[in-house]
Amino acid sequence: MKARCCCGALLEAKALEEESPLNYHLRLGCTACANWVTVSGRLEEVTPLVERALWSNEARHELERLPPYIEPLVREEVESYAAQAGCRVMTVAMFHEARNRGKVTWAPAATDRLANIPAPIRSMAKVEIERMAIEQGLSEVTESLMDEAKAKFLGMRGRP
């Protein structure tokens, strides 16, 4: 879908802000008169106005937090994953889904155990545990997978 400005020129998607997982603000700029319009709504409502790959401000922040030598590789990975999924908008959720190569849910008990992991390594541990789940064909992280991850990454085996 193409939106037009009051001057008749096309509006182009310039920025996306994630207010919440259910509310997004898409800023459209006029290609002729520099007019700006903001459209708000759910992701599926604002996405048709996006013609090419667009990163949300929050997803771009996640990308910029990476070391400079990794950032272009991750950008390509996320954009490629999104293209395969038929998506032109890179959100934080899409960023994490692409990094994990799929979606994974967490059992409540596993979420509680994740909270016990020290904060400096918690996000890295979460990504790696989700990758383990995907590699094993699981759609949910369970306590048993948490035990397996602990044994794998910390070399801890259960007592005989």
56 pLDDT higher than 80? yes
> How does residue 160 score in pLDDT terms, banded at 50, 70 and 90?
very low
Average pLDDT, integer, range 109-134: 86
Q: From 150, 148, 120, select the one nearest 136 (Cα to Cα).
A: 148
**% pLDDT > 90, the chain:** 56
Averaged pLDDT score across all residues of the chain: 88
Parse the chain into domains and list their residue ranges. Answer: 1-46, 52-100, 105-153
CA dist list (Å): 7 to 10, 15, 33, 152: 9, 21, 7, 61
User: How does DSSP assign 49-95, residue by residue?
Assistant: G--S-EEBHHHHHHHHTS-TTTHHHHHHHHHHHHHHTT--EE-HHHH
Same fold: 52-100 with 105-153: yes
Question: 3-state class of 134 per DSSP?
Answer: helix
Q: Strand 105-106 and strand 89-90: pairing?
A: unpaired
pLDDT, tens only, 12-51: 999 999 998 889 999 999 989 989 999 999 999 999 999 9
Right CATH for 105-153 from 1.10.8.550, 1.10.3210.10, 1.10.8.60, 3.20.20.70: 1.10.8.550
Q: Which CATH class is domain 52-100?
A: mainly alpha
Predicted confidence at residue 34, as pLDDT, reads 86
